[in-house]
Structure 1
Amino acid sequence: MWNFLARNKQVAAMLGLLGAAALVVIFLATRGRGHVIVEQFLVETEDVSEDPYIFSAHSLPSDDRFMPSIGNGHLATNVFSDTVYMNGLYNGRKGESRRARIPAWANIRLNSTLTNHPYSPVYSLDTKHGVFQVTVDRDRSVVTQRIFAHRYYTRSIVNQIKVEPKTHADPNFVHHEIWIAIKQMPGPESKDIAFGSPTPEIIDEMLVWKACGKTKEVEDPAFQGMLEDVCAYWSSVPDHLVVPHSRSKVITFFMTVDKNESVARQEFIKILQEDGEELFEKHVEQWGRLYKQGGLEIEGNLQLAKIVNGIWYYFLSSLPSEESHFPLDRFFGLSPTGLARGGTFDDYEGHSFWDTEMWMFPPILVLYPQYARQLLQYRLDNAYVAAELARITGSKGYRFPWESAYTGSEVTQPCCPDVAEFEQHITACIAFAARQYLSMTRDEDWLKHGGCSIVTNIADFWASRAVINYSSGLYDIANVMGPDEDHSNVTNSVFTNVVAGYSLYLAQYVACQCKSYYMAKDPDHWADIAWSLTLPYDETLDYHPQFQGYRRGEGIKQADAVLLGFPLQYPMNISTRINDLTYYESVTRGNGPAMTWSMHTIGQLQIQDNLRAATLFNKSYEGYVREPFKVWTELRRPKVGAVNFHTGMGGFLQTLMFGYAGIRIHLNRLEITQPQLPPEATKFRIKGIKYLGSNLTLDIRVLQTTLTVISVDDDWPILMYNGKYNVTLVPGMIVTLKGTGPFTIRTVPWKDCKLPVDTIGQNYLRPIGL
């Protein structure tokens, strides 16, 4: 390191000036991959805004990775990055597959933000309106740059420069002109897409540029004919803008990108015809519609409110628009770092993991079930690939790969064969997401259009993986890896067996729901196997060993066995839950991903140790959230790992929604248990809880908790136990929740199908629920 400083005297001098503010990043190992990161210094900038939806700073982060992203589910980029990514656009074979880089022809900078200048820009991310702004207060004018991925014109990334002249004492000054120096910075040619040379074109008397190309490699040779065409159009950008001092003016530059050249061109023409302010308002309107549907509101703790608002902004930026000028393409899922990242090894190449179903999916489901369905649809679209993976690995049904991208094939890096081979729990996690989706929606249409098939085929996979052990009389699942990637190729991973058992029981339940139009094979056989799966449990120490043969005291990477209590909600004695939490906290890596501490927080709230919960709650985000734009990293500072880490964000939202608010999703009910305020908050509201078509708002205050009924679906009338009485919920009603609950919301049975038993293994030790 000291040699590095000697070679970089300016950096060394800066380190001396900054002292503790300068952070060093060194070697890290994460998620089964070894990452070596060049030593560098990360200086975080202060967020100076008091608005919970706006993050502002007088300077940009010293590390470009901590810049915020903009996106609309079709296109996304990091602000001032030379790279744009598009939903479903990948390049590279197998483990080299990554998001395909499109040069950022929409990356435009004001020169006053690039060089030493007397003006002091203010940089702001407005999460409510989905826009990044740069404001420069100059001698003769105020210049505002707005950068956004348009939420209605979804093929476009827009740059608008608004010049507002200042009043001048000299009346003749209005005849002067204002000059604004700008620079277009698209970066180098793409290594992923074989673009032709940019060609000029005149559209509506304006000079426009176009480049078209094709991706170079597809993930699997069997899909070689699926190389993708890409076409981009963008505005010609001058070196200077000249604006009369007599009036304000908005100048708009933009690029459009699509796989279809006609779509990219027609959208470009349409935007060209729009008034600049109306174009922006149309974008803001779409963001407003999203936030009206749901959200988390926190008062009394500004930092917490900002972090939560940032999470929802980054989530929604990677999810498709609900309304767009042209129909949207197929959606290719939500990766650990969102749509704005994924071209590198550190950012997981934009692949989909279990992160989607277990960490991001649940909070999205509660407020935006339409997006939850689209996340499941990505799995349905790739079911035929999962069937082939099961077949070639000697199993039945569907086996989903650990990492997938464009084709649905396994695309885990060559570095990490163990995770691809053994981390099979992802298949059961997809079924668990389906279980939660059906619990919250009872979506018959989804069942008819693939849901019945995916659930039952996942059950077939686990039925084929479970092998009877004649010594114990129970079924074993060998050659797996649980969430803890420090232990490979184990037998009877406690997490894997429970979530696999749930998938078997779910298939039995779904077979009943689907029997009028889908024939399932011997559904009771699935339940018999689930009932008889081995469940590792140490009766003497009253805890769950992580897997068969686990040696007490061995360190682990992240939350694994503790996930039984939540999110799996497997019933156990409270003493067992306490022992699991206490023991595994003591052996978990201190530098592991944030989701671990989110799950430990929920566990401590379950056992009513609120003081320990508050400590772990702080640990679950402090050190992971980077200022000033609330960008999450996978690892705690000074380490980094993946950036804009949606997985950690999802775990944190679960802490708030399922921990402090106490929401619990079950197949036949929704529960609210022990609702309480997060640390330092004076009010906590979850607006837009969607349960069986109803719309509910939960308000938690210091002295009182209430549930407001916004609307109810006539097909599913709902009844709530408020702590004293059963109350029929009707629109406009406000119910006060008395005590700690559980407050149970129920409706009529669904087709009179019997609920699954959900008991797994060692039934003579069946524990008592918390």
Structure 2
Amino acid sequence: MLGLLAVAAIAAVVLTTRGATHSTEEIVEEAEDVSDDPHIFSTHSLPTEARFMPSIGNGHIATNIFSDTVYLNGLYNGRKGESHRARIPAWANIRLNSTLTHRPFAPIYSLNTRDGVFKVTVDRERSMVTQRIYAHRFYTRAIVNQIEVYSKPYADPNLTHHDIWIAITLMPGPTSEDIVFETPIPEKLDERMIWSACGKTKESEDLVYQPLPVEVCAYWTSVPDHLVVPQHGGRVFTFAMTVDNNKTKARQELEEGEALYQKHVREWHKLYDQSSMTIEGNLKLSKIINGIWYYFLSSLPSESTNQPPERFFGLSPTGLARGGTFEDYEGHNFWDTEIWMFPSILLLYPQYAQKLLQYRLDTAYVASQLAKTTGHKGYRYPWESAYTGIEVTQPCCPDVAEYEQHISGCIAFAARQYLATTRNEDWLKHGGCSLVTHIADFWASRAVINYTTGLYDIGNVMGPDEDHRNITNSVFTNVVAGYSLYLAQYVACLCKSYFLAKDPESWADIAWSLALPYDEELDYHPQFSGYSRGEQIKQADAVLLGFPLQSTRANDLSYYEGVTRGSGPAMTWSMHTVGHLQLGDTGQANAMFNKSYEDYVREPFKVWSELRRPKIGAANFFTGMGGFLQALVFGYGGIRIHLDHLLIDKPQLPPDTSGFTIRGLKYLGANLTLDIQETQSTLSVAAVDDNWPLTYHDGRNQIRLAAGVSITLAGEGPFTIKSVPWKDCKVPVDVIGKPYLRPTGFVMWKQQQQEKGSK
């Protein structure tokens, strides 16, 4: 953990992403991936930079391979701005001694993204040794090491040989600085010797919302110095480490684990049976996509578990396997979850999208208090949150915590997409109505009428471009605020039989009249009121109006590409890709697409860095991965989510590919596959929900979708998939910054005053 002086020094030199990025510049030699299987990454040498090692996880527990640290979902240590993931010593970090020296053997290291397992293979003189390491997908409290040792046959079986000895080492690392563990206790379990240690975090995040430290218990199998196998035979040795907040559950997982490997692989295969994204003709790109989904799913909870699942604490920018340090964002949740990771997860795995929203519902009462303490109404979500939901941004960087309020609008935007694709009434009844309307109340209390312009201003904010702070009328902030207000108007209708909303039309009036900076002469959106043309910006901001906010302007794209600093984070260029595809500029889109990943993906395990080579920033950067998936799904796939329909527009192949298939798209209970080939695109239907009948339109034809139907998408589109209205509630107009088109709110009052003055 960086000390405060070091943090302040970094902040003084570089205004960093969310105020918390370590921007070291390093020359890192990368190992080569030698596998030709799109799901397997193999290498003869490990990365020289440990941060580019792959992770294993199951949403409850996670670690990086050969790391001395294990992290647990929801386990943090440190008061407020010092809160970070609490380090548990890695009593699962077992190394084959032959891989520590690399002599005289040549190990092969492989990450199998389909099976969810890391494997080490060592071809020795007298034996073949294979080590499998995985965070179990069913016994979710467990990290498992299985070491298989098989002797090799010899030409002369009469020769006398000794037993085969394989030296191994347990490397749990130093004592935790976050958790006060009791002295480990040994005991015998069946024929095994096991150890256990329980402890408590040193500091709770907040004395009001978390008055007591959190307890955590670990069990692990005793690890000998050597494994012994007869000269003519073989054996599988199994070692496990289990962790939970409950000691009994941790022990039961160690006791009950059976058929470990087969059960684990089956659970991973179930995930990929639900959905997949497949690239043909480009092995590199295919591997990158498979790597992203592997890392995402490793940090999301298992659907089927031996022990009841725990409360889920969201996706942080570097996943569950990282977050103990400043450079890895300390395991906190940001807008990254809702804007960058959420949309692709929603379309392929909507059950996980609901869990991500549930984290925000679970912390809504804290968001309510934050709004009150800052003089506003409704829910104001903090810029960074962890266990309790309070603001946990580092003390170095108060500006982002104070001004970057667009996160509340981003959460509402995710809720908008979720409702559009699921129409989940149960979610609305159990918190969704309240979440959406209270976020709208917050924005209504933030908007202030400007009596000169007749528009509502939102001041004292910071947009995604963190190079500019304490600004007024950030175009991105105002648009997500407007969408939040319109969504509340719609949800008030959906929920009216069981949830009372106050004057929903007033939300729409404010949204309609929000200021939206626009330069008519140059035909582009200045990033905020008072923005000076030519000023450099940090990352995609105003261009997000085009996507995900769906109001593309060619001039916005061309202008902001020229002033965005090249050292910005990975996801920026993915959004430029989507914008150029929407405008039909395939050449520039392809250039931006290549730029969005080529200098960010690190070999051999496809770990993303936040910053372009040679800089690193955060490692295994989920935010960049999420932006990249959106370039594929919403850019080349052409998919757009609207409140009352799903649109597919201009589907086309990514560069240097011969096929692109998104299988398992979920829309209103239907299961769809979009297959894009060089000559044509096809939409296939695997299942539909009778509660939401779907109709396909292409401008000429209208087809009722049913299981088994396959439709060739003729031309570029748009192709529309639509169902019946939901409760006959009118979809909002979503028009922002047009006050004089209808006399409401301040405009009506001003007209009345003018009429009085003329009499």
Q: TM-score, normalization: structure 1?
A: 0.93
Q: Deviations over 1:393-419 (max 9, x none)?
A: 000000000000000000000111000
SS in 2 for 1:363: helix
Shift of 1:35: 5.3
Residue deviations 1:13-47, cap 9 Å, x none? xxxxxxxxxxxxxx865214365666754110111
The amino acid of 1:624's aligned partner reads Y
For 1:446 and 1:765, the matched residues in 2 are separated by 35
Matched, 1:445 2:421: no
Query: Could you tell me which of 128, 132, 135 is aligned with 1:142?
Result: 128
In 2, the alpha carbon distance for the partners of 1:588 and 1:736 equals 40
What is the CA-CA distance between 1:165 and the residue it aligns to?
1.8
Q: Is the 8 A contact 2:275 2:663 kept in 1?
A: yes
Aligned mates of 1:651, 1:313 — CA distance in 2? 16
Matches for 1:175-574 after TM superposition, within 5 Å: 176-271=162-257, 274=258, 278-570=259-551
**Cα distance, 1:209 vs structure 2:** 0.5
Q: CA RMSD in A?
A: 1.3
Match of 1:102 among 84, 88, 97: 88
Amino acid at match of 1:610: T
* Closer, same or farther: CA 36–704 of 1 in aligned 2, 3 Å: closer
CA distance in structure 2 between the partners assigned to 1:539 and 1:28 by the alignment = 34
Amino acid corresponding to residue 399 of structure 1 in structure 2: R
- Residue 714 of structure 2, aligned match among 732, 738, 745: 738
User: What does 1:27-176 align with in structure 2 at a 5 Å threshold?
Assistant: 30-33=16-19, 40-172=26-158, 176=162
The Cα of 1:222 is off from its aligned counterpart by: 1.4
Structure 1's 334 and 174: CA in aligned 2 closer, same or farther, altered over 3 A? farther
Match of 1:412, SS state, is coil
| Structure 1 residues 693 and 38: alpha-carbon distance in aligned structure 2, compared to 1, 3 A threshold | closer
The runs of 5 or more residues in structure 1 that have no matched partner are: 1-26
- Residue number in structure 2 paired with 1:5: none
Quick check: 1:595–1:651 contact (8 Å CA) kept in 2? Answer: yes
Cα shift readout 1:101-125 (whole Å, capped 9, x = no counterpart): 0000000000111014111000000
| C-alpha separation in 1, matches of 2:347 and 2:281 | 24
In structure 2, which of residues 668, 677, 690 is the aligned counterpart of residue 701 of structure 1? 677
- CA distance in structure 2 between the aligned counterparts of 1:660 and 1:36, rounded to whole angstroms: 33
Distance 2:677 2:567 in 1: 34
CA positional deviation for 1:613: 0.7
* Deviation digits for residues 124-164 of structure 1 (CA, Å, limit 9, x no counterpart): 00000000000011111110100000000000000010112
Contact kept, 8 Å, 2:340 with 2:626, in 1: the verdict is: yes
Q: Deviations over 1:594-651 (max 9, x none)?
A: 1110000111101111111111100000110000000001000100000000000000
2:611 matched residue in structure 1? 635
Q: What is the deviation of 1:203?
A: 1.0
Distance 1:289 1:174 in 2: 48
CA displacement at 1:166 relative to structure 2 = 1.5
Q: Which runs of 5+ in 2 are unaligned?
A: 1-12, 743-759
The alpha-carbon deviation at position 177 of structure 1 amounts to 1.6
State the distance in 1 between where 2:397 and 2:682 align: 49
Question: Is structure 2 residue 727 aligned with structure 1 residue 751?
Answer: yes
Distance 2:640 2:197 in 1: 50
Preserved contact between residue 210 and residue 388 of structure 2 (Cα < 8 Å): no
- 1:176: Cα distance to partner? 4.1
Q: Return the letter of the residue paired with 1:670.
A: L
Deviation at 1:248, TM superposition (A): 2.5
Report if the CA contact (8 A) 1:28-1:641 is conserved: no
Instruction: Output the CA distance in 2 between the equivalents of 1:719 and 1:40.
Output: 54
For the 8 Å contact 1:722–1:735, the answer to whether it is kept is no
CA contact (8 A) 2:21 2:618 kept: no
Query: CA contact under 8 A between 1:723 and 1:738: conserved in structure 2?
Result: no
Distance 1:106 1:741 in 2: 53
| Secondary structure in 1 matching 2:673 | strand
* Contact 1:174/1:246 (<8 A) preserved: no
1:593 aligns with 2:593: no
Q: Say which SS state the counterpart of residue 506 (structure 2) adopts.
A: helix
Would you say the 8 A contact 2:454–2:739 is kept in 1? Answer: no
Identify the residue that residue 22 of structure 1 maps to in structure 2: none
CA gap of 1:602–1:756, structure 2 versus 1, over 3 A, is same
Q: 2:620 aligns with which of 644, 661, 671?
A: 644
Counterpart among 670, 693, 696 of residue 717 in structure 1 = 693
Task: Give the CA deviation at 1:70.
Answer: 0.2
Partner of 2:327: helix, strand, or coil? coil
CA drift of 1:543 comes to 0.4
Equivalent position amino acid for 2:328 in 1: D
Contact 1:501 1:758 in 2 (8 A): yes
Q: CA deviation at 1:226?
A: 3.4
Offset of 1:678 from its aligned partner? 0.4
Paired with 1:180 and 1:736, the residues of 2 have a C-alpha distance of: 58
Distance 1:443 1:258 in 2: 32
Aligned sequence identity (%) = 71
CA contact (8 A) 2:26 2:614 kept: no
Report the CA distance between 1:173 and its aligned residue: 5.4
Aligned residues: 730
Give, in whole Å, the separation in 1 of the partners of 2:230 and 2:568: 56
- Write the letter of the residue equivalent to 1:422: Y
2: distance between equivalents of 1:345 and 1:329? 26
User: What is the deviation of 1:178?
Assistant: 1.2
2:24 and 2:183 map into 1 onto residues whose CA distance is: 34
**Could you say what secondary structure the match of 1:189 adopts?**
coil
- Give the whole-Å Cα distance in 2 for the aligned partners of 1:142 and 1:116: 15
Residue in structure 2 matched with residue 678 of structure 1 by the alignment: 654
Paired residue type of 2:722: R
- The question of whether the paired residues in 1 share the 8 Å contact of 2:52 and 2:605 is answered with yes
Greater shift, 106-115 or 239-248, is seen at 239-248
**CA–CA distance in structure 2, aligned partners of residues 154 and 292 of structure 1:** 20
Q: Which residue of 2 aligns with 1:616?
A: 592
Deviation at 1:757, TM superposition (A): 0.8
Once the two structures are TM-superposed, the CA of residue 224 in structure 1 deviates from its matched residue by 4.4
- Name the aligned partner's letter for residue 455 of structure 1: V
* Cα distance change, pair 37–750 in 1 and its aligned pair in 2 (3 A): closer
Structure 2 counterpart of 1:114, one-letter code: L
Give the Cα separation in 1 of the matches to 2:352 and 2:475.
30
Asked whether 1:602 is paired with 2:578, we answer yes
**In structure 1, which of residues 733, 736, 761 is the aligned counterpart of residue 737 of structure 2?**
761
Please state whether the residue corresponding to 2:134 is helix, strand or coil.
strand
Task: Give the corresponding residue for 1:3.
Answer: none
Task: Tell me the secondary structure at the aligned position of residue 411 of structure 1.
Answer: coil
What secondary structure does 1:303 align onto?
Answer: helix
